[in-house]
Structure 1
């Protein structure tokens, strides 16, 4: 699997950056090629995006989510990918957003694009658009403050009593 790792400092408090990232259905507003992300339940996401000129769909599951710290996911169907985004305070008004992602380029076009650094540049641009999006707003469009513990860790489980805002009636 190929891997990309990038970070950016956003000029908003930690909780604002984290809260906005939990609004997965907003991703098409700042992620190039992402057409739709549907929140199926608190752990599952349905993605539709253009990858190497092809419309692709996949489902991802959130393996771990710790408010104001990190979100870890992996795909369960379709385009193979996994990753982690972490949030670290720089100061009370700045947050470092660090994104690590592994993915399996399918076919010659995706492999060539990966070799030429297209994915790395796309991730950098997506993080810059996230920065612009959240800094322009100054507040998150919603928040999910629940915790999903890593099921592979001893005693891991989902804490379903999280506070949900901005996820609509289906969230």
Structure 2
């Protein structure tokens, strides 16, 4: 298995960052190659992806969910093998570090070649940059929330 770990700091409170990440149906808005995510139940989702010309459909299940702290998943079935964790670390009231770790088992010549070239790391870095832009724009559109002083 190949493992990639990347992180990015987002200028949005941890609650907003977690809520947006935990809504898997939004992933096509900020993840290149994710065409559709359909939530099947509280723990399982069906994914349709197209990355580097390779189309895949697979299911994932959430194996750990700690609000505002972490979401961990794994694929089910035999077609695609990967696991991942996204951790959320508050860096103050309005800033959050998002740390993603993914492990992926490449199959076939094309995936193994892409793995040797570090394609997964490039993909994860790009997706985190897109997520940052996405969630910061959503927060800016929503405007400031109530102040801590109640006004």
Q: Structure 2 length normalisation: TM-score? A: 0.90
> Residues of 1 paired with 2:73 and 2:99: CA distance?
14
**In 2, are the aligned partners of 1:16 and 1:139 still within 8 Å (CA)?**
no
Asked whether the equivalents of residues 47 and 58 of structure 1 are also in contact (C-alpha less than 8 Å), the reply is yes
Partners in 2 of 1:91 and 1:116 — Cα distance?
36
Distance 1:30 1:92 in 2: 24
Which of the two has greater helix per residue?
Answer: 2
Q: Distance in 2 between matches of 1:121 and 1:52?
A: 12
**Partner in structure 1 of residue 123 of structure 2:** 122
What is the deviation of 1:7?
0.4
Alignment partner, residue 55 of structure 1: 55
Deviation at 1:117, TM superposition (A): 1.1
1:129–1:69 distance in 2 versus 1, CA, 3 Å? same
Task: Give 5+ residue unaligned stretches, structure 1.
Answer: 142-171
- Once the two structures are superposed, the pairs formed by residues 24-35 of structure 1 within 5 Å of their partners are 24-35=24-35
State the aligned residue count: 141
| Stretches (4+) displaced over 4 A | none
- Deviation track 1:75-120 (CA, whole Å, cap 9, x = no partner) reads 0022111010000011111000000000111111111111111110
Q: Are 1:46 and 2:54 an aligned pair?
A: no
Matches within 5 A, 1:128-139: 128-138=129-139
| Distance (Å, rounded) in 2 between the aligned partners of 1:140 and 1:117 | 35
Residue of structure 2 in register with 1:71 after alignment? 71
C-alpha RMSD of the superposition: 1.5
Counterpart check, 1:98 vs 2:99: yes
Query: Which runs of 5 or more structure 2 residues have no equivalent in the other structure?
Result: 143-151
Structure-to-structure mapping, 1:135-154, within 5 angstroms = 135-138=136-139
* Distance in 1, Cα, partners of 2:24 & 2:40: 11
